[in-house]
Structure 1
Amino acid sequence: MVRTLNLGILAHVDAGKTSLTERLLHAAGVIDEVGSVDDGSTRTDSLALERRRGITIKAAVVSFDVGGTTVNLIDTPGHPDFIAEVERVLGVLDGAVLVVSAVEGVQAQTRVLMRALRRLRIPTLVFVNKVDRGGARPESVLRDVAALLTPSVVAMGRVVGAGGRAAHVVPVIGDGAVEVLAEHDDAVLAAYVDGREVPGLRAVVAAQARRCAVHPVFFGSAITGAGVPELAAGIAEFLPASSGDPDGPVSRVVFKVERGPGGERVAFVRMFSGTVRVRDRLPERVTGLAVFSRGAAVRCDAVRAGQVAKVWGLEGVRIGDALGTPPPGEGHRFAPPTLEAVVVPSREADRGALHVALTRLAERDPLIGLRHGGRVSLYGEVQKEVLQATLAEEYGVEVEFRETTTICLERPVGVGTAVEFIGSGGNPFLATVGLRVEPGDGVTFALGVELGSMPLAFFKAVEETVRETLGQGLCGWQVTDCAVTMTHAGYWARQSHAHGTFDKSMSSTAGDFRLLTPLVLLSALRSAGTSVLSPVHRFTLEVPGDVLGALTPVMARLRAVILSSVPRGRVTVVEGEVPAAFVHGFQRTVPALTRGEGVLETAFSHHAPVRGVVPMRDRSDHNPLNRKEYLLRVTRRAD
């Protein structure tokens, strides 16, 4: 059986991972010429926008063979604004190559990625790229990798002539390897203590790398090709092959969705177990399959455990769906977006087309979080620019963005109740609805009335409307951690005239419950009261010790709270918290105040109650907080 390895290439933006992918494909004979990121001719950056901007935006799959192993290589974005695309890929990998620039060294995004790889125990090789560039410092970067990413590193080569076009790599296991390996192997430790040579040292490195105990470090240049054959051989030797029982129950995960030429939905899946054939039902009928081979997707009749495949026919599938038996693993590896902006069409006539386009884009990236009023979730300004260009180029819709704002949440702070009865209190709907809201764990809906007291469809209408209405609380933010209980229910049974004519004016419908529920729910929520919470990021800042005094008052103006400050040699490591709204200002400030030597890492931590002026979000519904306005909009009368 063919040995298969699903490999991720990850890096901080501009470290050279897409160029490395091109070089690996060329070395394997898949392409005749190495594509250029600058020229927009790379194989994996297939989107016109990717080629023009010179960055990877969407994950791409390409395959090559090395050392008897078929490698499905997944190239991922490096810019932090597209971290969601990386997250979707991590769950399908057998191993990874983390690319680090020999010039810029270990950067903030590099550290975020390595933490995720180590937490998920994904065997990882490190490739120190750009050894031919001026300013390359491979030995210093190796020390930084050990200090900032993981101490368990083993150098698999030595660079000669670093910083010049003629730089090349001598394959050799670096000094200190035995000491690192001895920490994880008693036999190696015994040989080291006795002063004996360790037999089969390379095999020991391979065994420990496959179980994530050590991380082999390779050196080279994706531009000149130096060191790339050694890396390719290391991928086959040091990373584990895919596993899984092809005869077991079907288990696979969707990590990408795209549209084919005819508009059909195509799912990219990783098979963990079982075998899927054309015409199988999952639960929709599979109409086509393709696996990746030597740079192309090749149609086939079946895909088996361990493979990555394209699947046609699953029109209802979404990114993240686990088909069949879900594989083991955790959910989100990175924080959700904490920013949002409203997208508006430049031409009013394009409003409908914009909604269709955003819906299609949300299929490709669920964390866009399309909501009422054209609101989309964002990680940063670059993502906004890419979204704007994508809408124009792929869908012909020119758009503008309103100001980017921080995404807040609302939580109930007390218990509130409200009820509307049929035929009283100015209730124009043929429905009785009573609701109680109170703090809870997540959003829950329960019945405090008998299930048989009215048709099931009416209860379902109330629950669905409750969950939809909680998308906008008293201040316009999504309400979370809210327990809703239905306390009153009533309806008028179906009425008909002679000859069986249905009389809607005297018969309750699900629509009555859908229209009444927002009024009752927001009234109960107003009675309970809500607290608005904004996202808070945890930060780690490494700065030269002599600049901390000047930086501290600036941090205070940005509402950053220092939790600890620890001197480490010539630098000081500061940890603390900062509101998400001030993160971008913080990031812009650090280089200028630290002579460019400061290293700042931030990550979402938690939500905390807003201090000071409570931010309000414009409503995009019929505003059930204003009874007269709401009734005018939904019934055309103010009862």
Structure 2
Amino acid sequence: MRSLNLGILAHVDAGKTSLTERLLYNAGVIDEVGSVDDGSTQTDSLALERQRGITIKSAVVSFVIGDVAVNLIDTPGHPDFIAEVERVLSVLDGAVLVISAVEGVQAQTRVLMRTLRRLRIPTLIFVNKLDRRGARYDDLLQDISVKLASDIVPMGDAHNLGTRSPRFQASSGAWQAALADHSDELLQAFVNDQRIPYGKLHEELATQTRKAAVHPVYAGSAITGAGVDELTQGIRTLLPAAHPDEDGPVEGAVFKVERGPAGEKVAYVRMFSGTLSNRQSLDQGKVTAVSVFDRGSAVPRESVRAGEIGKLWGLAGIKIGDRIGATPDKLQHFFAPPSLETVVEPRRPSDRGAMHVALTQLAEQDPLINLRQDGVRQEISVSLYGEVQKEVIQATLSEEYGLEVTFRETTTICVERVAGTSEAAEFLGANPFLATVGLRVEPGTGVEFRLGVSLGAMPYAFFKAVEETVHETLTQGLHGWQVTDCLVTMTHSGYAPRQSHAHAVFDKSMSSTAGDFRNLTPLVLMDALRQAGTRVCEPVHRFTLELPPDLLGTVLPALVRLGAIPQPSATGLEGEVPAARIHGLQLQLPTLTSGEGVLETSFDRYEPVSGPPPRRPRTDHNPLDRKEYLLHVERRV
């Protein structure tokens, strides 16, 4: 049987979870279509999801369409949980992008479609909620073509919009014209007014869809079931289902980690090749149990095979983004990192330790939370995409861990970039550690460590200690922000060879260890960084603001006061605005535009801040202050 790993993506409230329910019902997996409003759906299993009626965590279900076994992953639609979507994208064969026929193309819809197109993931589009009052189709196709993708292929016509019995009537009338842009043969036939047989057209449609060259558009209602049969056939015949290689090398990717009832780690893995068996040993530990998604939820199995999605127990060292088996690649990042940060405080001081444990477990499930602990102030910070994510963290800590917490005011996360080139070195015998370390810092792309000395100059473990410490130290630059785009080259090295007394007892005081290099590297690196200098940069977002022309005179001055650089566009205004001002803009917008303004923002770049650079409190032993650093590290001045 062929297999297909399919993602359902959409802006929040477009109806993707309801569509998942309808697909499961039509496939005979469930006897009754669940309701998001009633909290009875298969994929929204968290209590918080059922209460809010939104998807927070990705969920996997499976069903069979003819000769295709589909593993369907329902993803969050709210932009605050875009990290969940990101992790799913790395394991997809194809996707269905759901658009509401009432609200149309929304901000998150654009973000998702841009990413799907950039990654060339074959994508079908489903216009949902044809049964709702105000539903559109023909003019919405034009919006989709302009705002999402010009290469769409309408798969039929919609009738009885806004009623309880909408219909979607399949038609191939527009296929030839839409496909001709990517086929010389079809273009020639189209110009000569030659009709192409349906079978050949469908074959070409499947080929172009699997190449992500075109995007077939279906329409219907997940609630009534209209159009879902046609979409189902599109999933089976147009997306790239394949016969996976179950006998090949073991290769898989972990896209989700959760905690079981006993607190154990459970890893979700998509297998690309080979077969992974229970009791098999991996770099992250030994597999103690396996379950595989099969015609519904996960069921216990002895192995998970290529093309399947499984849950693995026993891998204590597993992390999101890890590769299973032969492929060493880590999970790629497709969206901008979180640009907000807040300090979490327990209402009861005695809960501080339990809160740290709980947040650590949440960070395992969402690495972009990026937990930062300040040992000096006994504070814990988390990274965020938005205020809704803060509310979810607060509710999760309360409901799952019994911890009541509060948050300080949300602040913007900046970065530091190296301004120049400089070197620093500390030599054996002239510092408190048995090590020589010399480093040069200069602007680069990403954070990269290179050797400017011979690899045979000292044991490899010492070089590894320096490299790891360089990356760790650069998480806090001269102003406390993470240093990005920095090339670090090791220019000097030296160590004290292993020494022992007469009776061959190892003498630490006379011999270098990796700890000497770990302790010395921050002093050298920050000295070089101080001489090179850094610039603090803040995130800047692109924005588009759709609004009536008569409101331009009111909105423009408000945007300028917020630090935005606006320019007129065909539908309103567009431009850029500092990320720190977006929340204020969102709060003012309903009043400024009488509720008629539609704002879309997306991360664009980092730009140097104007005025005094903001500082972030340090959470390390402050290698910028030699006396303070040595006091903590060596317990001496």
2:322·2:331 contact (CA, 8 Å) conserved in 1?
no
Q: Which residue of 1 aligns with 2:310?
A: 309
Partner of residue 480 from structure 1, selected from 479, 484, 492: 484
The corresponding residue for 2:111 is: 112
1:74 maps to 2:80: no
Show the counterpart of 1:377. 383
Residue correspondence of structure 1 range 24-423 to structure 2 within 5 A: 24-164=23-163, 166-173=164-171, 176-200=174-198, 203-204=202-203, 205-283=205-283, 284-326=285-327, 331-373=332-374, 374-420=380-426
- Give the stretch that moved more between structures: 349-358 or 450-459: 450-459
Aligned 8 A contact 1:103 1:136 in 2: yes
Could you tell me whether the CA contact under 8 Å between 2:168 and 2:226 is conserved in 1? no
- Counterpart of 1:33, as a letter, is E
Secondary structure of residue in 2 paired with 1:15: coil
Distance across 2 between alignment mates of 1:415 and 1:194: 64
Query: Is this contact kept in 2: 1:94–1:242, CA < 8 A?
Result: no
Deviation at 1:486? 4.4
8 Å Cα contact 1:126-1:218 kept in structure 2: yes
In structure 2, the gaps of 5 or more residues are: 375-379
Distance 1:456 1:593, change over 3 A: same
Offset at 1:363?
A: 1.9
Tell me the amino acid that sits aligned with residue 142 of structure 2: R
TM-score by length of 2: 0.89
2:88 maps to amino acid: V
**Distance in 1 of aligned mates of 2:568 and 2:369:** 36
1:495 shift after superposition: 6.4
TM superposition shift of 1:139: 3.0
What is the rounded CA distance, in whole Å, between the counterparts of 2:495 and 2:183 in structure 1? 73
Deviation of the 1:141 alpha carbon = 2.1
Instruction: Indicate the larger mover: 386-395 or 41-50.
Output: 386-395
CA distance in 1 between partners of 2:206 and 2:463 (Å): 59
The structural deviation recorded for 1:330 is 9.2
The one-letter amino acid of 1:382's match is V
What is the CA-CA distance between 1:558 and the residue it aligns to?
Answer: 2.1
**8 A Cα contact 2:250 2:324, kept in partner:** yes
Name the CA distance, whole Å, in 1 between partners of 2:65 and 2:550: 51
For 1:415 and 1:152, the matched residues in 2 are separated by 47
Compute the displacement of 1:386 (Å): 1.0
Q: Give the TM-score normalised by the residue count of structure 1.
A: 0.89
Residue 477 of structure 1: CA displacement? 0.8
Counterpart-to-counterpart distance in 2, 1:234 and 1:451: 56
Report the CA distance between 1:336 and its aligned residue.
1.6
Conserved 8 A contact 2:322-2:330: no
Residues 252 and 327, structure 1, Cα contact 8 Å, conserved in 2: no
Q: Which has the larger displacement, 499-508 or 170-179?
A: 499-508
For 2:576, the aligned partner's letter is: E
How far the C-alpha of 1:292 sits from its partner, in A, is: 1.3
The answer (yes or no) to whether the contact 1:91–1:329 under 8 Å persists in 2 is no
2:377 corresponds to which residue? none
- Tell me, yes or no, if structure 1 residue 443 matches structure 2 residue 447: yes
TM-superposed CA distance for 1:286, in Å, is 3.3
* Separation of aligned partners in 1, 2:497 and 2:176: 82
State the AA in 2 paired with 1:167.
Answer: S
2:564 is equivalent to residue 560 of structure 1: yes
Change (3 A) 1:588 1:20: same
Cα deviations by residue, 1:571-621 (Å, 9 ceiling, x for unpaired): 34x443222212233344445444544443322222221111211001111
The 8 Å contact of residues 338 and 385 in structure 2, kept in 1 or not, is answered as: yes
Q: Hey, what's the Cα distance between the residues in 2 that align with 1:626 and 1:322? A: 40
Aligned letter for 1:584? H
Residue 321 of structure 2 contacts residue 331 of structure 2 at CA under 8 Å; is this kept in 1? Answer: no
* CA RMSD in angstroms, aligned pairs only: 3.0
CA distance in 2, matches of 1:351, 1:536: 34
Letter paired with 1:313? G
CA distance in structure 2 between the partners assigned to 1:148 and 1:419 by the alignment: 54
Q: Residue type matched to 2:522 in 1?
A: P
Give the Cα separation in 1 of the matches to 2:470 and 2:329: 32
Tell me by how many angstroms 1:522 deviates.
Answer: 2.4
In 2: Cα distance, 1:124 partner to 1:450 partner: 50
The answer on 1:525 being equivalent to 2:529 is yes
* Structure 1 residue 127, shift from structure 2 partner: 1.5
* 1:386-405 Cα distance to aligned partner (Å, 9 max, x none): 11222222233332222222
Give CA deviations for 1:499-520 in whole Å, capped at 9, x if unaligned: 6676656665544443343333
Q: Identity across aligned pairs (percent)? A: 66
Structure 1 CA distance for aligned equivalents of residues 621 and 395 of structure 2 = 31
Over 3 Å counting, the alpha-carbon distance change for 1:333 and 1:482 in structure 2 is closer
Q: Which residue of 2 aligns with 1:538?
A: 542
Which piece of structure 1 moves more, 295-304 or 186-195? 186-195
Q: Is the 8 A contact 1:253 1:270 kept in 2?
A: yes
Deviation string for 1:51-77 (max 9, x for gaps)?
112110111000112233222111000
After superposing the two structures, state which structure 1 stretch, 113-122 or 538-547, moved more: 538-547
**8 Å CA contact 2:419, 2:535 repeated in 1:** yes
The 1-side partners of 2:124 and 2:222 are apart by 15
CA distance in structure 1 between the aligned counterparts of 2:584 and 2:243, rounded to whole angstroms = 46
The 1-side partners of 2:304 and 2:5 are apart by: 14
For 2:170 and 2:366, the matched residues in 1 are separated by 43
Gap change, CA 1:442 and 1:210, over 3 Å in 2: closer
Kindly state the Cα deviation for residue 189 of structure 1 after the two structures are TM-superposed: 4.1
What's the secondary structure of 1:372's corresponding residue?
strand
Distance 1:623 1:490 in 2: 24
Q: 1:465 aligns with which of 459, 462, 469?
A: 469
User: In structure 2, what residue type is equivalent to 1:521?
Assistant: L
5 Å matches for 1:573-584?
574-584=573-583
Mean alpha-carbon deviation: is it higher for 368-377 or for 485-494? Answer: 485-494
Kindly indicate whether the alpha-carbon contact (under 8 Å) linking 2:321 and 2:330 is maintained by their aligned counterparts in 1: no
Distance 1:588 1:157, change over 3 A: farther
Report SS of the residue matched to 2:170: coil
Q: Which amino acid aligns with 1:409?
A: V
Q: Deviations over 1:96-154 (max 9, x none)?
A: 11111111111111111112222222222222111222222233323322232223333
**Relative to 1, partners in 2 of residues 1:272 and 1:454: Cα closer, same or farther, differing over 3 Å?**
closer
